[in-house]
Amino acid sequence: MLKGSKLTRNFLNLSDINKSQLMGILKRAIDLKKYRKKNKNPATLRNINLAMIFEKPSTRTRVSFELAIKELGGRSIILDEATTHLSRGETISDTARVLSKYCNILMIRTTNHKKLIEYHRYSKLPVINGLSNISHPCQILADIMAYNEKRGSIRDRKFVWMGDLNNVLFSWVEAANIFNFSLNICFPKLMKVSKGLKEKIKTYSNNVKIFHNTKLACKDSDCIITDTWFSMGKKPTNKLIKVFKPYQVNEKIMSIAKKNAVFMHCLPATRGNEVTEEVIDNSRYSLVWSEAENRLHIQKAILEWCLKKI
C-alpha cells in the first residue's frame, strides 16, 4: 500500500516533521511504554518487515529497533554494509529496489546523509535516519521523553550543549526551535562550525546561542548535555583532548547549573573525557539510562508513525 505513495512518511530530520506529529510520536511512546510494562504490547506492525542497514557500529539503535519491530508483531533483517554487496560496489539504487521487494520500511545508519534520500528515492519505502553524519533525530525524541518524565515540559527550559559540534547537537538545535526551549552551545573557540550547523544556528537564533565560557553558558541551566568528543570515524588525538578538557562535564560544571538540573548523554560515553564517572553515575540527576531505555519506546512510535498507524 505504501509503495509508490507520494505521501510516504520518512523520519530523516526533526525539522521535516510538524510539531503536532512529533508530539503524537512522544505521546504514543509513553503509552507503548505502559503497555510493555503490563506485558501487553499491541500487534500494530504484524507482518511488517523492517530492514536495517548499518554502515557504522551500534548497540542501542540496533537492539532497540530490533526489539521494537518484533514486540509489535513484525520482523527485522539486519544488514551490516560490509557483509553485503554494497561493499563490493553494488549501487544503492539497485540495493534499494531489491529491498523494496522484501521489506516495508528501512532504517539506515550512514556516513553520508544523502544516502538516506537515495534509499527512499529508489525503494519508495519509508526511511528512518538511525544516525547520519548530519543528525540523529530518533535519539533526541527519546531524550525529550526522558526529560519530560523526570522534570515535565521542556518548553522555556534552558539547556546547555557542551563539547563537540556533531550530529546529535544538530538534532538538538532543531528540537530547540520546534519545542521552544533555549539551547546554549558551549565549545572551544578554535573549533570550526560546519556550514550546515552555522546556518541552522542562524535560522534559530531566537532559541540557540553560542558560548565559549562554560560558567556563562551553564549558569541557571536546567539540563547539561554532552556527547563523545570523537564521533565514529573521527580519530582521537591528545591535542584535541587537551582542547576539549575545559568542556568536560564534571561536578563543578553541574554545580553552576540549577539545583535540580539534569545531565544527558546519548551514549556511548568515554568516561574521563567528556564526562566524569561522578556525573554520569549520579542517580539523582543523570538521565542516561532512561534515555537509552526510551529509545525502544520511541522507535516503536516512529515505526508506527512512518507506517501511518498513528
- Residue selected from 10, 133, 139, 248 as contacting ligand CP according to rule CB under 6 A: 139
Contact 79, 136 (CB under 8 A): no
Which range in 15-23, 53-61, 190-198, 256-264 contacts ligand CP by CB under 6 A? 53-61
The Cα-based distances of 190 to 193, 202, 215, 218 in angstroms read 9, 19, 18, 20
Q: Is 253 exposed, middle or buried (0-12, 13-18, 19+ CB in 10 A)?
A: buried
In 88-207, DSSP assigns E strands to: 105-109, 127-129, 158-162, 182-186
Residue 268: asked if its preceding bond is cis (omega within 30°), the reply is: yes
Q: Pick from 149, 267, 282, 290: which binds ligand CP (CB under 6 A)? A: 267
Nearer to ligand CP, 142 or 217 (CB): 142
Binding residue for ligand NVA, selected from 63, 98, 210, 232, defined by CB under 6 A: 232
d(CA 94, CA 74): 25
**Residue 58 interacting with ligand CP (CB under 6 A):** yes
Residue 88 CA: distances (Å) to CA of 28, 81, 91, 102, 252: 40, 10, 9, 21, 50
Is residue 135 within the footprint of ligand NVA (CB under 6 A)?
Answer: no
* Beta carbon nearer to ligand CP, 57 or 272: 57
Residue among 228, 248, 273, 294 that touches ligand NVA (CB under 6 A): 228
166 binds, among ligand CP, ligand NVA, none (CB under 5 to 8 A by kind): ligand NVA
CA angle at 114 for the pair 165 and 264, rounded to the nearest 5°: 30
Mark the segment that binds ligand NVA (CB under 6 A) among 86-94, 190-198, 226-234, 279-287: 226-234
Report the residue from 8, 10, 13, 61 that binds ligand CP according to the rule CB under 6 A: 61
Site residues, ligand CP (CB under 6 A): 58-61, 131, 139, 266-268
